[in-house]
């Protein structure tokens, strides 16, 4: 186990904003793509 606590996990050894900025935007892009595909299917 790499992390002693949730705070440790969120802090990512001081690189939290870079690591979560990467994962967060990735999740956002994937959600947007899935939503746009769902919208398309219903439109046509």
Partner 1 sequence: MTSDLFRFAAPQAFFPLAGKLIPWFSVLAGVLTLAGLYVAFFVAPTDHQQGEAYRIIFIHVPAAWMSMFLYVVMAGWAGLGLALNTRLSGMMASAIAPTGAMFTFLALWTGALWGRPTWGAYWVWDARLTSELVLLFLYLGFIALKGAIEDPARADRAGAILALVGVVNVPIIYFSVQWWNTLHQGASVSLTRAPSMASTMLAGMLLMALAAWMYSIATTLCRVRSIILGRERDAEWVRMTKEQMRAAA
Q: Which stretches of the chain bind partner 1, using CB under 8 A?
A: 1-3, 9, 12-15, 18-19, 21-23, 25-26, 29-30, 33-34, 37, 40-41, 43-44
Contacts of 43 (CB under 8 A, 6+ apart): none
- In SS3 terms, 2-35 reads as CCCCHHHHHHHHHCHHHHHHHHHHHHHHHHHHHH
Shortest Å distance, C-beta 21 to partner 1: 5
> In terms of CB distance, is 5 or 40 closer to partner 1?
40
The least CB distance from residue 5 to partner 1, in Å, is 14
């Amino acid at each position: 186990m790499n992390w002693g606590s949730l705070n440790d996990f969120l802090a990512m050894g001081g690189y939290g904003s870079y690591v979560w900025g990467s994962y967060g935007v990735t999740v956002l892009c994937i959600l947007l793509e899935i939503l746009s595909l769902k919208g398309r299917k219903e439109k046509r």
